[in-house]
Amino acid sequence: VLWHNASVNALPFRSGELAFPLLLQRIAGVPLVHSTASLIHFRIQDASVILILCIALLPELGIALKVGLYCFLLILGWTFSKWLHRPHNWHESTSVLKRKTAFFRDAMVMANPQAAWSWLLTICNWTVKISLQALLYVHLVNIEFGSGVLATVFSEAAAFSPVQGIAGFG
């Protein structure tokens, strides 16, 4: 975990993310397709939580637009989940792309058999992380807690950009 986190923060274009599946394969013997699917699943959850918070915290967005964006995210997530779980016979396809997509779909389904708990833990993790970082801002920079939350959420949103500064300063 430490090697993965250090790689993410030190290597350009978030290439350190590649350390996660490679280390899982080397240390735990997890096949590369499964460890990559787990990483993608984690990042989808992280991005979803941060995006939901960004939508909630942007004061310029009206309530109708916020509700519309939330509905869009729900529909997108539901559609993606249905696509992953839909039966397919792509393993026997002559197309290399279809066969690889079939393995990826199966790996994504297997990546998180207990999705509800995983989502709950992701939300709890982000709540604690954002709260603690906001408290650090309160004590180190002398700003209000709400401003610290805003700074933390939007700096985390910036962290999804491909270019990262050293030590996670996006």
pLDDT mean across residues, the chain? 82
Instruction: Read off the pLDDT of residues 100-157 as tens digits, 9 standing for 90 and up.
Output: 888 788 887 877 666 778 888 888 999 999 999 999 999 998 999 999 999 888 888 8
Task: Please give the model's pTM, rounded to 2 decimal places.
Answer: 0.75
Task: Say what the pLDDT of residue 170 is.
Answer: 45
Least confident residue range of 23-27, 72-76, 103-107: 103-107
Looking at the chain, the whole-number percentage of residues with pLDDT higher than 70 is 83
Written in H, E and C, the secondary structure of the chain is: CHHHHHHHHHCHHHHHHHHHHHHHHHHHCCCHHHHHHHHHHHHHHHHHHHHHHHHHHCCCCCHHHHHHHHHHHHHHHHHHHHHHHCCCCHHHCCCHHHHHHHHHHHHHHHHCCCHHHHHHHHHHHHHHHHHHHHHHHHHHCCCCHHHHHHHHHHHHHHCCCCCCCHHHCC
